[in-house]
């Protein structure tokens, strides 16, 4: 059996020091609705002020900052699933309304001077990917999250569904971004687009790819094990 990690961050650390160590934690704070301007407050201070589970917060931050980190979900309560869902929903909104919207807009701008073949290939690839992402998020929003809400409220299943079905149908939307990167880096002619715009698009794609990997880990390594526990308790 693989030994579980001890927490890499701990509650006595100052929140500002965590951000300086790993600026991607800024995104975690935003999705947990934690505002900046907290002075010398520690992680524990921040969690108490925001009525947030200290263990859950540390787990999410550790997943973002330390590759290979394995959370111990036995440290979480059933109510923590609600905060995880809130976090994931805010992530969905950020991806669809900010990041993907910006990437899509810049791709169309990038292709304005490209030939028809290259434009059609890249546009179709991105449109197909965008549809896959929307289906992925809609499935979670309309099926998985309501199921978990019901499980927490009633402590019993009222539908023929379980979290294992979610894991079996869980598509890795982050993997397909690698193909998009390859097209833009390797195969899009240099004379058909502005290099600075191409680089801005690639920076966004690399960022969202890494963030989606962390997003998936939170679902697979924190949410799913927690829901498994809820399911066992109701049987």
Q: Where are the domains of the chain?
A: 15-74, 77-234
pLDDT in tens, 28-76: 999 999 999 999 999 999 999 999 999 999 999 999 999 989 999 999 9
d(CA 202, CA 36): 28
pLDDT digits (tens, 9 = 90+) for 170-219: 666 766 788 888 888 988 888 777 889 999 999 999 999 999 999 999 99
- Residue 89's contacts (CB-CB under 8 Å, 6 or more residues apart) are 141, 145
Cβ atoms within 10 Å of 97's Cβ, excluding its own? 10
CB 42 within 8 A of CB 14: yes
Enter the tokens of residue 188. 């899009």
Q: Residue 209 is encoded by which pair of tokens?
A: 């790819």
Using DSSP's 3-state secondary structure scheme, residue 14 falls into strand
Cβ contacts of 143 within 8 Å, gap of 6 or more: 161, 166
Tokens linked to 135: 């289906």
Query: Does the pLDDT value for residue 105 go beyond 70?
Result: yes
Say how far apart CA 158 and CA 41 lie, in whole Å. 43
CA distance 158 to 93: 28
- Residue 84: is its pLDDT beyond 80? yes
């Amino acid at each position: 059996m693989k030994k579980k990690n001890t927490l890499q961050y701990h509650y006595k650390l100052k929140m500002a020091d965590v951000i300086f160590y790993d600026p991607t934690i800024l995104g975690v704070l935003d999705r947990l609705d934690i505002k900046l301007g907290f002075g010398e407050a520690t992680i524990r201070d921040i969690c108490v002020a925001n009525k947030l589970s200290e263990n859950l917060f540390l787990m999410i931050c550790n997943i973002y900052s330390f590759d290979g980190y394995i959370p111990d979900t036995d440290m979480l309560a059933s109510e923590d699933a609600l905060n995880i869902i809130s976090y994931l929903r805010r992530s969905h909104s950020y991806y669809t309304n900010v990041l993907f919207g910006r990437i899509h807009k810049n791709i169309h701008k990038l292709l304005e001077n490209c030939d028809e073949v290259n434009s059609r290939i890249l546009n179709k690839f991105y449109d197909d990917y965008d549809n896959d992402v929307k289906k992925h998020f809609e499935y979670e929003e309309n099926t998985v999250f309501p199921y978990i809400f019901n499980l927490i409220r009633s402590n019993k299943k009222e539908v023929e569904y379980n979290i294992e079905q979610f894991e079996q149908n869980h598509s890795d939307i982050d993997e397909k971004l690698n193909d998009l990167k390859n097209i833009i880096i390797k195969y899009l002619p240099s004379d058909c687009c502005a290099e600075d715009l191409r680089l801005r698009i690639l920076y966004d794609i690399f960022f969202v790819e890494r963030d989606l990997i962390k997003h998936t880990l939170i679902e697979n390594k924190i949410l799913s094990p927690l829901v498994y526990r809820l399911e066992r308790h109701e049987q």
